[in-house]
A and B are shown apart, each in its own frame.
Chain A
Amino acid sequence: MDYLLAFLVGGSLCALGQTLYDRTRLTMGHVMVIFVVLGAVLTALGLYEPLIRIGGAGATIPVSNFGFVLTRGAIMHLEQMGLFGLLNGIFSQAGAAVAAAIILGFLMGLLFHPKG
């Protein structure tokens, strides 16, 4: 059941992104930015966590989840240490993904050449 829900929620988010891409003149970069911003706003409204409870990986794998982890980090640190936590917390939970992408990006750039 978890797998099916992940499939449905994740698939729907991607299909929504595709619709935005096909029906407007936005590039995929714009669509990704919209997803991240939406993820952040929904998190502050308290709506993204319920989506994760339903969809599991279907909600944590799409790029909107990046907005969620940035915002959740900011909110949690804000609660613990006040206003400075707002800055301190933003990358508190998103660091692993960014670090992994940078390290792997560097490695792949060393190892492979584009084939076109």
Chain B
Amino acid sequence: MRAIHAKHRVGRRSLVFPGRPSVLSTFTVAGPMEGQGPLGRAFDTVIPDTFYGERCWEQTESKMLREAIVHCIQAAGAAESDVDVLFTGDLLAQCIAGSYAARDLAVPHFGLYSACASFAEGLIAASAFLEGGFAAHAVVAVSSHHDAAERQFRFPTELGVQRPPTAQWTATLAAAVMLGYPGSPFAGGAGRVRITGATLGEVIDVGVKDPYDMGTAMAPAAVDTLATHFKDFGVPPSYYDVIVTGDLGAVGQRIAADLLESKGLAVKDRFQDCGLLLYDRARQDVHAGGSGAACSAGVFCAHFYRGMMNGSWRRILFAPTGALHSPVSSKQGEAIPAICHAVALEAV
């Protein structure tokens, strides 16, 4: 007789992870422009040019992702054979960055797609695998590449186009984290950052059609998931030291902050956005900020994870957002559906 009651479920859309899976290691591979940004020194590797020895950007992205995964496993002192499942996410059609990265790895692989929320989707899926006893160690890795995304979603890279100020800049980044439990032989000095719970996102479409204004399209999804999170867990925003959205950018982040405040959720003193942390918008021509599947993942690994490890923050609510349109749906006049998954982390 199997349990029909989802015992780790709270409220309508939230999960608690009683075993609290740990982050055992992280690794980031950043593009040259990201390397010149405010977090440049915090990335583990910065590649010298956008091709990184490959013939085309799609394969560059795969190579970055593969290196992030391999070095993340090495950083934990583990081997490929210790990884029970690998989740990857990327923006390329049919998720080829992940598939080509995984073809050289002897690791069971799941490819995910939630656009720029893929990293959170992966963290939640991996945590569920761990908590269900289906994996002892899981790796979650995501990537994005500015030029590969441009040629797929927008225009040829050498076309002289001017972007509107609401446009966001797809980050060239790959980031990987290895999850396990503190009792793992690979925990080493790490394992102090634990995943305590999550709130699953619903797809929210508020009718925004402009693919150059994804922040506006995604803000309501972030608000929906964050508000649901506080309700499901019965905690106020002040429970967390930082509430960080994925890549709403300058426009979407302000909208989301105001919408949350109007719901009586005082977030503004602790509300941050990975898209605004990755670049220096005064110096780098990225308009409303960064985006891309690896934007939130890279900022998480290079900034928030390190900050939790060195004691700057204890509790973080990490809520990457994704715009789920495609070039085809946009040309067909469909609006941009958006999603946000929230992951609660705690340093112990």
Asked if the two chains touch in their complex, CB atoms less than 8 Å apart, one says yes
Chain A positions within 8 Å of B, measured between CB atoms, are 21, 25, 28, 114-116
Whether A114 touches B156, Cβ cut-off 8 Å, given contacts A21-B162, A28-B161, is yes
Contact A114 B210 (CB under 8 A): no
Number of residue pairs spanning A and B whose beta carbons lie under 8 angstroms apart? 17
Which residues of B, 189-236, contact A by the 8 Å Cβ criterion?
210
Whether A116 touches B156, Cβ cut-off 8 Å, given contacts A21-B162, A25-B210, A28-B161, is no
Which A residue sits closest to B146, measured CB to CB?
A: A116
Q: Which of A25, A115, A116 has the most CB of B within 10 A?
A: A116
B137-153 vs A, Cβ < 8 Å mask (1 yes, 0 no): 00000000011001000
Asked if B157 is at the interface (CB within 8 A of a chain A CB), the reply is yes
Which residues of B, 56-83, contact A by the 8 Å Cβ criterion?
57
Main secondary structure of the interface of B (DSSP, over half): loop
Contact B158 A114 (CB under 8 A): yes
Contact A114 B162 (CB under 8 A): no
Asked if B50 is at the interface (CB within 8 A of a chain A CB), the reply is yes
CB distance from A95 to the nearest CB of B (A): 24
Given contact pairs A114-B157, A116-B157, enumerate 14 new A-B contacts (beta carbons under 8 Å).
A21-B162, A25-B210, A28-B161, A28-B162, A114-B147, A114-B156, A115-B50, A115-B157, A115-B158, A116-B50, A116-B57, A116-B146, A116-B147, A116-B150
Which B residue sits closest to A28, measured CB to CB?
A: B161
Chain B positions within 8 Å of A, measured between CB atoms, are 50, 57, 146-147, 150, 156-158, 161-162, 210
Q: How far is the CA of A106 from the CA of B146 in the complex (A)?
A: 25
| Interfacial chain B residues near A114, Cβ < 8 Å | 147, 156-158
| Interfacial chain A residues near B147, Cβ < 8 Å | 114, 116
Q: How far is the CA of A71 from the CA of B147 in the complex (A)?
A: 38
| Interfacial chain A residues near B146, Cβ < 8 Å | 116
CB distance from A90 to the nearest CB of B (A): 26
CB distance from A62 to the nearest CB of B (A): 15
| Interfacial chain B residues near A115, Cβ < 8 Å | 50, 157-158
CB distance from B159 to the nearest CB of A (A): 9
Q: How far is the CA of A28 from the CA of B161 in the complex (A)?
A: 7
Q: How far is the CA of A116 from the CA of B147 in the complex (A)?
A: 6
Which B residue sits closest to A27, measured CB to CB?
A: B161
CB distance from A116 to the nearest CB of B (A): 4
Q: How far is the CA of A21 from the CA of B165 in the complex (A)?
A: 13
Which B residue sits closest to A21, measured CB to CB?
A: B162
| Interfacial chain B residues near A25, Cβ < 8 Å | 210
CB distance from B213 to the nearest CB of A (A): 9
Q: Which 4 A-B pairs have the closest CB atoms?
A: A116-B147, A114-B157, A116-B157, A116-B50
Which B residue sits closest to A108, measured CB to CB?
A: B158
Instruction: List 5 A–B pairs whose Cβ atoms lie within 8 Å, in order of A's numbering.
Output: A21-B162, A28-B161, A28-B162, A114-B158, A116-B57
